Structure 1
Amino acid sequence: MVQQPSLLVNPTEPSEEDEKLRLIPQDDEDQGINLGSVDCMLAFTSIFIFVWRRGRVSRRGICLVGLCESGKTLIFSQLIYKKAVESFTSMKENVGVLDIASKGALKLIDVPGHERVRQRFFDNYKNTARGIVFVLDSFTLNKDVRDVAEYLYTVLSDPVVSSNRPQVLILCNKQDHALAKGPQVIQSILEKEMNVLRNTQTNQLEAVAEGGNKKSFYLGQEGKNFEFADIRSLRIEFAAASAQTADLENLKKWLQLVA
């Protein structure tokens, strides 16, 4: 029997055949799959950016919301008609087009403040809102603080608002009154009231959630007192204004940035 010579492989010294094989591209099919995956990811990213930008462009609405007699309609008329128009409690919205220099047009919606209809009208326009202006009466806040906080809480915790992330301006109107409170004081008052309201709302929602009907929504940061800065999904600012004296410069600057 003739003994066949054994093949010795030295791992530190590759043979000439090994070098040739190493130069031949391996796993062509796998490379094609990887390249295809990259192409799919790039295509998906492009589609996502296109849809996101299109959504931003289509959301050109600015919703003016707030309680009755907070001054929303007067602000609307000052911006749209450049003058004060006599207003009264309305059960329907006012809609106008506001041209912003170098930014295009915004659709301004004055949402009725009456508690029976305001949510219905807000629901009609919230999905197209690029910004929300919550108007409050700086002079009567102490008397209305509970109602103001409840309405503001409803707006800020709305699932569509949280998802679309429009910019929010809390406009402290009627600053022409001598006893009107400034934006910083109003922010502090509202944060205290919203903290109490949040605890009440959270307890109620948790009680419902135990029955499996509704998931609770927590506004702000758990484990600490309520602060507007803790609502990370929204950018919330405060500003002073006086629609009666046509002092709306802070609002106009905000609209310029939002547009």
Structure 2
Amino acid sequence: MEDYTGFMAGSPFEPYIESLRQQLEEQDPVFLIGVIVALAVVVITFFLKYFLTSKTVRTSVLLVGLCDSGKTLLFSRLLSGKFKRTQTSITDSSAPYKAKNDRGSTWTLIDLPGHDSLRPQYLEKFKSAARAIVFVVDSAIFQKEVRDVAEFLYVLLTDAVITRNAPALVVACNKQDITMAKSAKLIQQQLEKELNTLRVTRSAVLSSQDGSVGGSMYLGKKGKDFEFSQLPMKVEFAECSARGSKGEDGDADMEMLEKALAKL
């Protein structure tokens, strides 16, 4: 204490510190308690709003993809394990999904319409609640759809809300039961090349100082060819078959996808 007092004696801040000490001593204890309580309320409110909310509200797993990629059948298989004849979705469907892990985690599985005229409004509706996004790809005709798949992925991965929240991304390479289906590795490589090309063609639009405009963010790292490893979220590619190799009467092949969802 003597060392501290001696130090303060020669400090230019001594008059201010002494004045502050006197003011605190002169204050009514009830007033001081009120100030402390008010500060505590502010801190707790900040904690609840920015920490707890961001961690607990996002409990949805969104199934997205182009039309006829097999999302709705995948939705049915994940929930009940049963085959179900489906048709093109024009609205969303949701149900509780219990992950196959020791924690018994339960998420809200939501199947979003795949038609390009409906995708934006449903993505806007649910993106803030997404803990994970399962992007379903038709592996059998991927070569024909690679451009469309990449364009949809580009919209997702440059969305400001999705970039900030960084939900896990699982690319479900569906219809692996079909002979000509592309592997998950090949699909990843071709998507990286296509997304890199898209980024170049659209980069002129991203002209603001922080690399964003109109709610869009720059994809990947500047000066480097795009790779999924550059994204702020965890990305996993999983091969699956909602129909299964034995058709309607057999089981689906969803082990890789279910393992990915179990990690959420």
TM-score in terms of structure 1 length = 0.78
Shift, 1:44, TM fit: 6.6
2:163, 2:217 within 8 Å by CA — same for their partners in 1? Answer: no
Which runs of 5 or more residues in structure 2 are unaligned? Answer: 11-16, 25-32, 245-251
**Separation in structure 1 between the aligned mates of residue 215 and residue 124 of structure 2, nearest angstrom:** 20
**Separation in structure 2 between the aligned mates of residue 155 and residue 63 of structure 1, nearest angstrom:** 12
1:59-138 mapped onto 2 (5 Å cutoff) = 59-100=58-99, 102-138=103-139
User: Which residue of 244, 252, 255 corresponds with 2:258?
Assistant: 252
Larger mean CA deviation between 132-141 and 46-55 belongs to: 46-55
1:64, 1:110 within 8 Å by CA — same for their partners in 2? Answer: yes
Q: Could you list the per-position Cα deviations for residues 32-58 of structure 1 after superposition, in whole angstroms to 9, with x for gaps in the alignment?
A: 7xxx9x999998766554432333222
Aligned to 1:225: 225
Which letter maps to 2:228? F
**Separation in structure 1 between the aligned mates of residue 81 and residue 126 of structure 2, nearest angstrom:** 24
Shift, 1:99, TM fit: 2.1
**Separation in structure 1 between the aligned mates of residue 38 and residue 236 of structure 2, nearest angstrom:** 40
1:1-259 mapped onto 2 (5 Å cutoff) = 27=18, 29=20, 47-51=45-49, 52-100=51-99, 102-206=103-207, 214=214, 217-231=217-231, 233-245=232-244, 246-258=252-264
SS in structure 2 of the partner of residue 188 of structure 1: helix
CA pair 214-161 structure 1, distance change in 2 beyond 3 A:
closer
**Separation in structure 2 between the aligned mates of residue 85 and residue 156 of structure 1, nearest angstrom:** 31
TM-score in terms of structure 2 length = 0.77
CA pair 252-45 structure 1, distance change in 2 beyond 3 A:
farther
Q: Could you list the per-position Cα deviations for residues 74-113 of structure 1 after superposition, in whole angstroms to 9, with x for gaps in the alignment?
A: 1100011220110111211111111235344211110000
CA pair 113-225 structure 1, distance change in 2 beyond 3 A:
same
Shift, 1:73, TM fit: 0.4
CA pair 42-78 structure 1, distance change in 2 beyond 3 A:
same
Shift, 1:193, TM fit: 0.5
The total of aligned residue pairs comes to 230
**Separation in structure 1 between the aligned mates of residue 162 and residue 187 of structure 2, nearest angstrom:** 23
Which runs of 5 or more residues in structure 1 are unaligned? Answer: 1-13
**Separation in structure 1 between the aligned mates of residue 174 and residue 153 of structure 2, nearest angstrom:** 15
**Separation in structure 1 between the aligned mates of residue 256 and residue 39 of structure 2, nearest angstrom:** 43
**Separation in structure 2 between the aligned mates of residue 114 and residue 39 of structure 1, nearest angstrom:** 53
CA pair 256-41 structure 1, distance change in 2 beyond 3 A:
farther
- Taking only the aligned residue pairs, the percentage that are identical comes to 38
Larger-gyration structure (1/2): 1
CA RMSD of aligned residues (A): 3.2
Q: Could you list the per-position Cα deviations for residues 190-213 of structure 1 after superposition, in whole angstroms to 9, with x for gaps in the alignment?
A: 01101111111112344x99xxx8
**Separation in structure 1 between the aligned mates of residue 80 and residue 108 of structure 2, nearest angstrom:** 14
SS in structure 1 of the partner of residue 140 of structure 2: coil
